[in-house]
Chain A
Amino acid sequence: NAGVMQNPRHLVRRRGQEARLRCSPVKGHSHVYWYRQLPEEGLKFMVYLQKENIIDESGMPKERFSAEFPKEGPSILRIQQVVRGDSAAYFCASSPSRGGSPLHFGNGTRLTVT
C-alpha cells in the first residue's frame, strides 16, 4: 500500500508567486492534516480537512493561505503571494478516523522562497 504522497518534494518560488502543494492520503483515509516545520523546530498544525470540508483551520494564517480536499483528487495547500517567511517544510498527514490514532505522514514539500 502506498503511504501519503506529497509533491513536489522541492518547490522554489520567487516572492509574490503562488505555491501549490499537493497531498494524496493513504488509500481509504478521509482525514487530512497539514503541518509546517521550520529548521530545528517541531511541527506546527495548520489545518485539518475531511472530504470537501475544512474541520479546523485554527493554525492557518488568515491571509494568503488556503486548503482544500475535494471529493476527487488530492488535498491542496495553496499559498498566494509568497514571502520569504513562508520558506519551510510542509507536511501532510492522513488518518482513517478523527483523532485518537496515529497520523501517517508524507515526506513533505520543501518550499524555498527567493
Chain B
Amino acid sequence: GESVGLHLPTLSVQEGDNSIINCAYSNSASDYFIWYKQESGKGPQFIIDIRSNMDKRQGQRVTVLLNKTVKHLSLQIAATQPGDSAVYFCAESYSNTPLVFGKGTRLSVIA
C-alpha cells in the first residue's frame, strides 16, 4: 500500500505486481516531463520522458501517462522487480528552463 512517511511517501509492492507512482506538477505551462530513478548513494538515472503534446509514452516495462487537465503525471512499472527498489522523482520544465524536481516517492519491492 501507499503511506506518507516523515519525508518521502513510500509505495510497497509485491514482486511481480505492477507499480504506479504518481506526481502532481505545479506549472500548467510546463511542456516537458521526465522520470528519474535514484538508488542509494547514486545520482538520478533517466527512465522515460514525455512532451506535453502527448498523453502516453511507453518504454521497456515502463509507461508514463500525462494528464494536463489535472496536472498529473504517473509512472507505471510492469512486473516490478527487486532491482526497481529506489526513489523515483518526476521533474518538469517549460520553454527549456532547468528541470524542477518533485519531492520523490520511495518504491519498496517485497520479494
Q: Interface on A for B, CB 8 Å cutoff?
A: 4, 33, 35, 39-45, 48, 56, 59, 91, 93, 98-108
Contact = CB atoms under 8 A, between A and B. Distances in A.
B60 interface: no
B96 interface: yes
Which 4 residue pairs spanning A and B have beta carbons closest together?
A99-B96, A40-B7, A105-B43, A42-B101
Nearest to B48: A102
A99 to B, nearest CB: 2
A100 B43 contact: no
A102 B42 contact: no
Contacts of B41: 107
Say whether chain A's binding surface is mostly helix, strand, loop, or mixed: loop
A43 B95 contact: no
24 contacts: A33-B99, A35-B101, A41-B103, A42-B101, A42-B102, A42-B103, A42-B104, A44-B101, A45-B99, A45-B100, A48-B98, A56-B97, A56-B98, A91-B44, A99-B95, A99-B96, A100-B93, A102-B46, A105-B43, A105-B44, A105-B45, A106-B43, A107-B41, A107-B43
Contacts of A102: 34, 46, 49
A99 B93 contact: yes
A23 to B, nearest CB: 11
Given A56-B98, A93-B43, 13 more contacts: A35-B101, A42-B101, A42-B103, A43-B101, A44-B101, A45-B99, A48-B98, A91-B43, A98-B96, A99-B98, A104-B46, A105-B44, A107-B42
